[in-house]
Structure 1
């Protein structure tokens, strides 16, 4: 499990594509290597991966067909950058919200607005089937970053977030551009509530 507080963004140093499998290697900062062992879980752009090999600062991972089809990892390239977060331990501070690393889909960046001083505003186009779980002031994880939704337009299937300078410094959102795709994971508590209410209403033949 993760908290959505990305610890760094790092460079993809190597990508090897095989049949229905992609192996890739990231260059980790020294401070995030402490205690990292083969088999450990790491969130990479919000997707939970298992470390398969550690060679000095080079940490390798494997992505299989399902992950390649449903997440941005399917388009991973050398010399690009990705967000990383080590899994949290019991007792650690949860600064964002609980994130599983099981991505629900991909969202497209529709616009980046920097016209307001010290404000970095990004609007995303979200798959329509996820919009029922997204509300203003709710939680969402985008490329592994725990963010609060500010504006939600359920007609256009869009959500908007405001990013503080610290988020821009610590994550790839400081270099993201319009048209790029990001991974999205909705808040599981919100999903559970919405699905439960829908099921109960359906059982009582009440439309919502």
Structure 2
């Protein structure tokens, strides 16, 4: 589990691939301070397991499922990547609950200035991801915990506003329209949607109303 607060920007040193399997070697410093084999490190929002580590870099396997559903397959040596170690119990929790289980990728549609901020508008490649996106709710883009400032269902897009510190301290500063970005929707929205979908399917099969409905959630303030 992660918080979406990036600890440092690493640099991809090597990317060895065989078909849809990869081994990434990433140069870093801060996340290596206490890293050991088997630890979890978020790379551009993807939870990866450390399989080798030395004083200047770590290596992690990328399996076919991850290769197909994230932008890690597009990385090339020299590319910057966002890094975060797994959160510690009792530590400060400044972002939101991030699993490192990417739901899919999106393409950056626009990058525009808004006073001291920069607004990124992205379009998920799977339009159904937008059903889990709530304005003023949380979302993770390339491992960064961000707040959704708006959605456009017709255009199939969502927008986030980036403060100067976040832009300066993450690999997002090098992202521009046309680039891909990993998306992880808020875990709460995904679980509620899954539960409601299951209940609706059960009710449809049995002809009943089901135990938990959207109307009932609204009744209790959700």
TM-score bracket relative to the smaller structure: over 0.9
1:87 deviates by 0.4
Q: Distance in 1 between matches of 2:69 and 2:170?
A: 21
Alignment of 1:10-89 (within 5 A): 10-29=10-29, 31-89=30-88
Q: Distance in 2 between matches of 1:131 and 1:101?
A: 18
Q: Distance in 2 between matches of 1:32 and 1:201?
A: 44
CA contact (8 A) 2:21 2:62 kept: yes
Which structure 2 residue ranges, 5 or more long, are not aligned? 215-222
1:196 deviates by 2.5
What is the aligned partner in structure 2 of residue 2 from structure 1? 2
Q: Distance in 2 between matches of 1:110 and 1:47?
A: 22
What is the aligned partner in structure 1 of residue 155 from structure 2? 156
Q: Distance in 2 between matches of 1:143 and 1:160?
A: 14
Instruction: Spell out, residue by residue over 1:109-135, the C-alpha distance to the aligned partner (whole angstroms, 9 max, x if none).
Output: 000002x33121100002211111111
Q: Aligned pairs, how many?
A: 206
Q: Distance in 1 between matches of 2:66 and 2:192?
A: 26
Q: Secondary structure at the match of 2:68?
A: helix
Alignment of 1:187-202 (within 5 A): 187-202=186-201
Q: Distance in 2 between matches of 1:12 and 1:132?
A: 33
Q: Distance in 2 between matches of 1:191 and 1:82?
A: 26
What is the aligned partner in structure 2 of residue 117 from structure 1? 115
1:85 deviates by 0.3
Name the larger-Rg structure.
2
Let me know the Cα RMSD of the aligned residues: 1.7
Matched, 1:129 2:128: yes
Instruction: Spell out, residue by residue over 1:28-83, the C-alpha distance to the aligned partner (whole angstroms, 9 max, x if none).
Output: 12x32221101110000000001111121111111121111111011111001110
* Structure with bigger RCO (C-alpha 8 Å, 6+ apart): 1
With the length of structure 2 as denominator, give the TM-score of the two structures: 0.87
